[in-house]
Structure 1
């Protein structure tokens, strides 16, 4: 059996149209759609609600640029740790209750960090909120696979639009809101969205107890992989690609406001440029899942995103300040690669079990790889007294690695087939690149 390809997969109509589903099943589909959307709103909000205010908070608590780098690294630590342990939590609790736990932790951390008395407490409570977001990052792809196996591109688009919407609005309003009511309410108010998402997933979890079908179409079986995911080369390549993309996403979330403030812009303008970057990424995210699902060669998609990153970084570093919105647009083109890599998790799996294993491994290992991005960017800048080396080595080096890995992993294949072929080649069968 040859390695299977998903190049021809499209967002095909369901074998049972949604409108023709029984009333209970239709309500279950609508509720699961709302729950997925509301949960996705929280996955970047935890980061972008705080980053434009770090200078203000730092003035009150007395921390320097190195601590800002630590805040930028926290999301990646959370995503690395919980990316690896979330599949085990899902097996224990089930995906729906894992989503509930995710949103409750996010809400708790967001609400309590508004009362933090010092830097250490703020770091700990931010870590709690990020732990919830990290759980949500991993559990949503298999939930989409479970509830909408016939609508992967559509639901991947919905998920990414929600993620970007949650990332876009907080930095746009954070500084004006903090000026009006103080920075504490400005970061604590967002907990309401996480609580709403937790409530929706509780309702979804309770539906089978009332004898109602939660899905309009049957989900594929939760088939175990032929080999552990960590023994499949394809999984490592995807993790490295995800890591390089995430490296730059969180470097920009953390440092773009500071870079623009150092260039003479106001904090409010810097926050608006983060929102512009996310907004452009959102526009690309509307089409990226469908293009990724249908693409027989994903390398051109990644190369286009890397080019956007390169132009944007170069512009912010050396070009006239009045063109800053243009460079934010190019950076947004680059950050849309996150949409592509997240979509790959579902397109390169055929079962919810495979999607869960690949999602946890790619996000866990990839986030671990990306840990160096925000921290190294700030550290190199402090050591050299400027940002030039940070742009060149921290950003440029990661983009070069992303291009190489994307070229190697340019042909879509499924993790289940790659694991099976890896097992056959190890057992003395035909050698197939896995």
Structure 2
């Protein structure tokens, strides 16, 4: 296959893989009430299902770069798509909450591997088009975050909650077919990505870098709030008196804002000396959205949701900064693993802490106090995270 066709095939593969990295998460939370009416779901199940995505993304962040020392990026992406398709497909038909969680672990590990593999693939196959391909990667990831909650409840009305979940397993199957083809053809990269492992001297180097820690903390606290909203926004709105369809639509809206901004932030970040002003504005927006949702949830729910969506838009910017701040294709896998690994491990505490505080207190202020403190810390560390220069 000639070089031009190979690059087109890789673009298609990245688009499909990026889309598959979130539907298994955001397509589930609007259906938990319907699922709970058929399968008894305990409070522990709800806490664990909210914690699993960032936890497994974090573990994958440290595991995946090590796998580079034995397998290629093409092989890892293919395996990730298989894990997503099998995990999402089988969990949709099980009646066991424990098995549902186990299959979710399989699917989420696949998504976590994909999170870490795609930035080095972009750096490897498109070293001269990093901003453009980062826009494609981040945009499709956000698109795969936005669509599922928008259509989850309407789909469940027609085909049941199981059928609604199976739709995303079907997209996983498409990803499997596409990446098997790519794996068989094995298009040659423009720049080789070596086995950059997050361990030993490389881990020590990153752990000595204040900027690496700042970028990891900024990314982690962004995901900390992302997964709280992915898990709890529909529930908070239904508690305030809105119906499930409206709550699902608001979850779709809160993910749509990063989708839209994700198409412009990568190019903007590449042109700016520092993206700190953008992150600072996003932090203010997130804080105001939380305060509105807490104190006046029925007054302007759409406004609060839009402000929250703007606030969590730091995530596509953070993904772009990982690629832009890496010294070369080799270090991209290592930095991606460190930032996403540590960041997601930090983020996994968000849904768990929020669930504990909501269920333990009659008042909502402890839960909202935690998220507002997290926004303040993110505001403080982001200046160092956004500084120009290679990490």
Q: What interval of TM-score do these two structures reach, taking the shorter chain for normalisation?
A: over 0.9
| Alignment match of 2:216 (pick from 239, 255, 271) | 239
**Structure-to-structure mapping, 1:43-82, within 5 angstroms:** 43-82=21-60
Question: Aligned partners of 1:329 and 1:67: how far apart in 2?
Answer: 29
> Is 1:121 matched up with 2:121?
no
Q: Give the deviation of 1:189 after TM superposition.
A: 2.0
Instruction: Report the counterpart of residue 203 of structure 2 in structure 1.
Output: 229
Aligned to 1:387: 364
CA distance in 2, matches of 1:382, 1:340: 33
- Within 5 Å, give how 1:35-434 maps onto structure 2: 35-208=13-186, 214-215=188-189, 218-219=190-191, 222=194, 227-232=201-206, 233=209, 234-319=211-296, 321-393=298-370, 395-415=371-391
Aligned to 1:428: none
Structure with greater Cα Rg: 1
SS of residue paired to 1:115? coil
Matching residue of 1:27 = 5
The CA deviation at 1:356 is 0.3
> Is the Cα–Cα contact under 8 Å of residues 66 and 195 in structure 2 kept in the other structure?
no
Counterpart contact for 1:288–1:339, Cα < 8 Å: yes
8 Å Cα contact 2:80/2:113 also seen in 1 = yes
Structure 1 vs Structure 2 CA RMSD: 1.8
Question: Number of residue pairs matched?
Answer: 386
Q: TM-score, normalised by structure 2?
A: 0.94
Distance 1:404 1:190 in 2: 38
Q: Secondary structure at the match of 1:92?
A: coil
1:382 deviation in Å? Answer: 1.4
Deviations 1:180-216 (A, max 9, x none): 21111111221121121222222222224xxxx545x
Whole-Å Cα distance in 1 between the matches of residues 45 and 295 of structure 2? 26
Deviation for aligned residue 1:66: 4.3
SS in 1 for 2:68: helix
Name the SS for the 2:127 alignment partner.
coil
The 1-side partners of 2:230 and 2:35 are apart by 16
Cα 1:54–1:291 shift into 2, 3 Å: same
Stretch deviating more after TM superposition (90-99 or 296-305):
296-305
Deviation digits for residues 328-366 of structure 1 (CA, Å, limit 9, x no counterpart): 111111121100111111001132220000111111111
In structure 1, runs of 5+ residues without a counterpart are 1-22, 416-434
Deviation, 1:223, is 8.5
1:57-115: CA deviation from partner (whole Å, max 9, x where unpaired): 12322224443221110001111111100011122110000000000000000000011
Structure 2 alignment gaps of length 5 or more:
none
Secondary structure in structure 2 of the residue aligned to 1:321: coil
> Is the 1:246–1:370 contact (alpha carbons within 8 Å) kept by the matching residues of 2?
yes
Higher deviation after alignment, 120-129 or 194-203? 194-203
User: How far apart in 2 are the matches of 1:92 and 1:263?
Assistant: 51
Distance (Å, rounded) in 1 between the aligned partners of 2:261 and 2:294:
24
CA distance 1:309–1:87, change in 2 (3 Å): same
Distance of 2:278 and 2:195 partners within structure 1:
30
Q: In structure 1, what is the Cα distance between the partners aligned to 2:297 and 2:64? A: 45
Q: Is the 8 A contact 1:229 1:358 kept in 2?
A: no
CA distance in structure 1 between the aligned counterparts of 2:201 and 2:388, rounded to whole angstroms: 19
Indicate if the aligned counterparts of 2:21 and 2:141 stay in contact, CA closer than 8 A. Answer: yes
